[in-house]
Amino acid sequence: MSMFLRRVLASGASKRAVHAPVRSFSHDAKRNAAFATWNADDKRFFEQLLRPEAVLTDLDDTASYTTDWLKKYKAHSAHQMVLKPKTTEQVSAILKYCNERGLPVVPQGGNTGLVGGSVPVHDEIVLSLGSMNNVLSFDEVSGILVCEAGCILENLDNYVAKHGYMMPLDLGAKGTCQIGGNVSTNAGGLRLLRYGSLHGTVLGVEAVLADGTVVDALSTMRKDNTGYDLKQLFIGSEGTLGVITKVSILTPPRSSSVNVALLGCEDFESVQKAFVEAKQHLGEVLSAVEFLDRQSLDMVLSQQDWTKDPLESSYPYYLLIETSGSNTEHDMEKLEAYLESAMTKGMVVDGTVAQDAVQARKLFMIREDITLALSQRGYVYKYDVSLPISQYYDIVKDTRDRLEEFGAKVVGYGHLGDCNLHLNVSTLEYDERVFQALEPFVFEWTSKYRGSISAEHGIGTHKPEYLHLSKEKNAINLMRQMKQMMDPKGILNPYKVLPETSA
Amino acid sequence: MSMFLRRVLASGASKRAVHAPVRSFSHDAKRNAAFATWNADDKRFFEQLLRPEAVLTDLDDTASYTTDWLKKYKAHSAHQMVLKPKTTEQVSAILKYCNERGLPVVPQGGNTGLVGGSVPVHDEIVLSLGSMNNVLSFDEVSGILVCEAGCILENLDNYVAKHGYMMPLDLGAKGTCQIGGNVSTNAGGLRLLRYGSLHGTVLGVEAVLADGTVVDALSTMRKDNTGYDLKQLFIGSEGTLGVITKVSILTPPRSSSVNVALLGCEDFESVQKAFVEAKQHLGEVLSAVEFLDRQSLDMVLSQQDWTKDPLESSYPYYLLIETSGSNTEHDMEKLEAYLESAMTKGMVVDGTVAQDAVQARKLFMIREDITLALSQRGYVYKYDVSLPISQYYDIVKDTRDRLEEFGAKVVGYGHLGDCNLHLNVSTLEYDERVFQALEPFVFEWTSKYRGSISAEHGIGTHKPEYLHLSKEKNAINLMRQMKQMMDPKGILNPYKVLPETSA
């Protein structure tokens, strides 16, 4: 999806989304009356603490911080402040002050999230980490990188590439998103299948708690069993338990050989079998198993500059297989053996293998262009779920049946290798009936099979009211206790992640 | 080390360790006077809740539960009870009861730990999970296993092997240790280099809190960003925050091809270079990078049935490189190319590659036999640290210099690929002067370079008083708050992990 975000940002196509009415109870939450409102004295304090240029209050200056990039979520208040600290000490002083004053704060990285987690709901102060963007150290032997939270993911990837390494995560927003935001939201993306989640690859964080306390859990060790693994508290908690200021992360060696194949399958059972076969044959070089249905491909063909099918015939299901390794010849040999086996066994009916990097890029762009094609067509209802592999496609079928009468197009695609499905519904204009038919239907369907209602995008303000469909009562209670313990005044990213207590 | 534990357990060689005086402030902690002492009524309650055979109080029956396998840590009291629940509901009822009564509890898996974490210090009730040993589900497509906490690691590995998968962790105690204990202690071991830590491979846990509340965080999804990642609280907290009753874990495809090479290096800089070269050349098939110094090899040669050096000459440093992949020919070709490059560049002076599985096993046994040889020689002072790669061997040299006058043998070996060093010191008999020279010297040395004083073994009762050398004050305070929140009466595994408040 990397091309997508950059293209959208460049072309202004994102303006299409301005009309999007976001239905989010939490984003419509009433302002918490216990919070203070920042005033001229507060502003003066921050200007002295930082420097005047690091304190923004003009709406022209704050606008890009108080709306998300798709312009779906926008702060309700015109009383806005953005702070741009340069050091951990400044972050600590800001939070200590805000906690004492009862001023709520929204930590913000690249502001590329999809669930409204990084923008204020009302007049929360935006704490932008973007000015803390130094690489602090890189160990060429171990591949361990330590950097500040505001480093842009793509810059880090380029930095470690010079030493033969790569970042263990790659996602569409890489040119804009920041590593601190990635870690705070436990970003997934394309490399998760191979390198695992950030809960495993992040070795340490430095984080500032709501009261300004700096917690140094910035280990650079792969193995460290000394007490509770505190960094985990900050990975994926979306800035509600603390503000990540530094990150230590393990980077894997960069692959010199990358191959891509697009395969057509006749039924979803064959898709599953072809996936297992890929794991057996490609084993250690398998780096992505992406899925798209015919409807997704049709969407791309109808909206983009693709003149014809990538395969000779049309198939209901497609797999996009990527290998990454250290020896091109070996990898290609493995890929060919896999394809022969999968086709002999009838799991795969037809396929094409990219012969060079340009072709590989083109095949991958089919998958990446789905999102763009959808947004070009009209309004998109987006869902990001994890499901057991056997139910992975059933939800698409059921949703399609359910929406038939409204003429909505339902497409299914995603990271099959991680059981992560992007279920997207397209209508020419926003249609309330479609929305009503989708929510909570999709979440409840997912819940029935113990899936996740948010595989990689997080909860933000979009889904707190549905959290109970993925997490049971005792678990949510424990989350509340954690929040209460670490941020008793609730100043960190309020209205996000956890549902209102009355819910 | 897999052979080691099984041999020791089988041969009774562990009795050698009986004389070991363990210096552990925490294991000598005074009994907490706030705790109740179990009585006949309590026993009756448990017998009714479970069944009479599941409640052990005879010292003959409880002995193996109240001493660790090396017989270093032993409960100080003769008033012992062991409970063997079969269901989560029973675990919940036991904890609810104990919490109300103020009875302390030690959760116990296979009792194979090395830091006294799984045995009572005084009269804590042992909650043995061994009777909860059912596999609950295995998904052949995704490789996701769900099982009860008491399943033995090796049994699980054999179980998934039938489907072409392997457990993502492998350690010496695999024939005895249980998955619940592995997860509670965040066990490391041989496969961590390739498959990462349990923080990444464990997908979910079911855990029972101190008050009996069952927290279902048993996700079977690789991606699940719905709220705080609660399972992380229980991974590596050594049973002090909750009792793990079920585990969901991602298992990788089993490798059909395994190659092993032993290499000799002239200096530690060459060792580091050879490691980097291995990552570049072997990339995706590299599965272990183990290190041993000449002193470790000498220890094995002098104590075991090894008649001669594995290489023609003697070298100060050795690397044991393992590859695991899906294609023998490819893997061997990569390994040969690596060796040629490393030898041409002078990083490696000599080496041998196993020609078959028997030879491979034999090479690996040199590494595994170090521990056994040490324990056969006399008394062993064992340290398990993580250090930045550039300081990895310096601690061995400094310790050797420091102990020269006492005639102690100092050896260094370990998982170099994870920067994890096992620093072991051998004397014929226990020598208090050696102990005094080692502690806190080793911990302080490690702390100076921001290493970890416990890379994989955990804290248990051995190291709470040194926790501050790996974790700073604010971090330890946050750990205390977590403990206070989740176990306000402190009944779960008392005297472990966190230092006494007065410390």
Query: Chain B window 436-465: which residues touch A at a Cβ cutoff of 8 Å?
Result: 450-459, 463
Q: Supply the pLDDT for residue A307.
A: 66
Q: Which of B407, B495, B480, B414 is closest to B452 using CA atoms? A: B414
For residue range A54-77, list pLDDT tens digits in order: 999 999 999 999 998 878 899 999
For residue range A223-274, list pLDDT tens digits in order: 999 999 999 999 999 999 999 999 999 999 999 899 999 999 999 999 999 9
pLDDT at B41 over 70: yes
CA distance B279 to chain A (A): 7
Nearest CA in chain B to A451: B221
Q: What is the largest CA-CA distance in chain A?
A: 74
Find out whether A485 and A238 touch, Cβ atoms under 8 Å. Answer: no
Q: Supply the pLDDT for residue B190.
A: 82
Smallest Cβ–Cβ distance between B386 and the set A221, A281, A498 belongs to A221
Q: Which two tokens stand for residue B491?
A: 């009944």
Q: Supply the pLDDT for residue B365.
A: 87
For residue range A145-194, list pLDDT tens digits in order: 999 999 999 999 999 999 999 999 998 889 999 999 999 999 998 889 99
A82-86, A311-315, B188-192, range with the lowest pLDDT:
B188-192
Q: Which of A196, A199, A175, A172 is closest to A185 using CA atoms? A: A199
For residue range B183-212, list pLDDT tens digits in order: 999 999 888 999 999 999 999 999 999 999
Nearest CA in chain A to B239: A228
Residues of B within 8 A of A224 (CB-CB) are: 386, 452, 454-455, 470
Strand arrangement of the beta sheet that strand B286-293 belongs to: B350-353, B257-265, B317-325, B286-293, B409-415, B420-427, B379-386
The CA angle A401-A404-A405, to the nearest 5 degrees, is 135
Q: Which of B260, B373, B400, B383 is closest to B318 using CA atoms? A: B260
Pairing mode of beta strands A409-415, A286-293: antiparallel
Cβ–Cβ gap B327/A330 under 8 Å: yes
Whole-angstrom Cα distance, residue B145 to residue A472? 21
Smallest Cβ–Cβ distance between B284 and the set A279, A285, A476 belongs to A285
Q: Supply the pLDDT for residue B502.
A: 54
A137 in B contact zone (CB under 8 Å): no
Q: Supply the pLDDT for residue A226.
A: 95
For residue range B229-274, list pLDDT tens digits in order: 999 999 999 999 999 999 999 999 999 899 999 999 999 999 999 9
Smallest Cβ–Cβ distance between A229 and the set B232, B284, B454 belongs to B232
Q: Supply the pLDDT for residue A6.
A: 33
A13-17, A76-80, A481-485, B456-460, range with the lowest pLDDT:
A13-17
Cβ–Cβ gap B223/A192 under 8 Å: yes
Whole-angstrom Cα distance, residue B330 to residue B478? 49
B222 in A contact zone (CB under 8 Å): yes
In the block, which residue shows the tokens 């050594």? B238
Confidence of residue A218 (pLDDT cuts 50, 70, 90): very high
Q: Supply the pLDDT for residue B469.
A: 93
**DSSP letter, residue A228:** -
Confidence of residue A1 (pLDDT cuts 50, 70, 90): very low
Cβ–Cβ gap B225/A459 under 8 Å: yes
Find out whether A81 and A62 touch, Cβ atoms under 8 Å. Answer: yes
Determine if residue B127 is left, alpha or beta; phi over 0 gives left, psi from -120 to 50 gives alpha, anything else beta: beta
Confidence of residue B437 (pLDDT cuts 50, 70, 90): very high
Q: Supply the pLDDT for residue B172.
A: 81
What does the mean pLDDT of chain B come to? 92
Residues of B within 8 A of A221 (CB-CB) are: 386-387, 419, 451-452, 455
Residues of A within 8 A of B418 (CB-CB) are: 222-223
**DSSP letter, residue B207:** E
For residue range A403-412, list pLDDT tens digits in order: 999 999 999 9
Whole-angstrom Cα distance, residue B265 to residue B291? 11
CA-to-CA separations, A401 to A74, A125, A404, B296, B329, in angstroms, rounded = 34, 45, 5, 68, 50
CA distance A285 to chain B (A): 6
Whole-angstrom Cα distance, residue A76 to residue A131? 26
A467 in B contact zone (CB under 8 Å): yes
In the block, which residue shows the tokens 């911080």? A65
Query: Chain B window 81-110: which residues touch A at a Cβ cutoff of 8 Å?
Result: none
Residues of B within 8 A of A280 (CB-CB) are: 164, 253, 326
pLDDT at A10 over 80: no
For residue range B353-384, list pLDDT tens digits in order: 999 888 998 898 898 889 889 988 999 999 99
Q: Supply the pLDDT for residue B447.
A: 95
Instruction: Render the burial of B452-479: b for 16+ CB within 10 Å, e for the rest.
Output: bbbbbbbbbbbbbbbbbbbbeeebbebb
Averaged pLDDT, B133-138: 98
For residue range B69-126, list pLDDT tens digits in order: 878 899 999 999 999 999 999 999 999 999 999 999 999 999 999 899 999 999 999 9
CB pairs under 8 A between A and B: 278
Q: Supply the pLDDT for residue B357.
A: 86
Confidence of residue A11 (pLDDT cuts 50, 70, 90): very low
pLDDT at A309 over 60: yes
Within a 13 Å sphere around the CA of A282, how many CA atoms are in the beta-carbon half? 32
CA-to-CA separations, B63 to B58, B74, B91, B290, B356, in angstroms, rounded = 8, 9, 22, 36, 43
pLDDT at A2 over 50: no
What does the mean pLDDT of chain A come to? 92
Smallest Cβ–Cβ distance between A196 and the set B196, B470, B485 belongs to B196
Q: Supply the pLDDT for residue B307.
A: 65
**DSSP letter, residue B283:** G
Strand arrangement of the beta sheet that strand A125-128 belongs to: A55-56, A82-83, A125-128, A105-108
pLDDT at A45 over 60: yes
Cβ–Cβ gap B420/A222 under 8 Å: yes
Query: Chain B window 168-187: which residues touch A at a Cβ cutoff of 8 Å?
Result: 185-186
Averaged pLDDT, A126-152: 97
Q: Is the dihedral of CA A25, A31, A35, A40 positive or negative?
A: positive
Nearest CA in chain B to A453: B226
Q: Supply the pLDDT for residue A21.
A: 52
Instruction: Render the burial of B273-306: b for 16+ CB within 10 Å, e for the rest.
Output: bbbbbbbbbbbbbbbbbbbbbbbbbebbbebeeb
For residue range B285-320, list pLDDT tens digits in order: 999 999 999 999 999 999 877 667 899 999 999 999
Cβ–Cβ gap A475/B227 under 8 Å: yes
Give the residue with greater pLDDT, B21 vs A12: B21
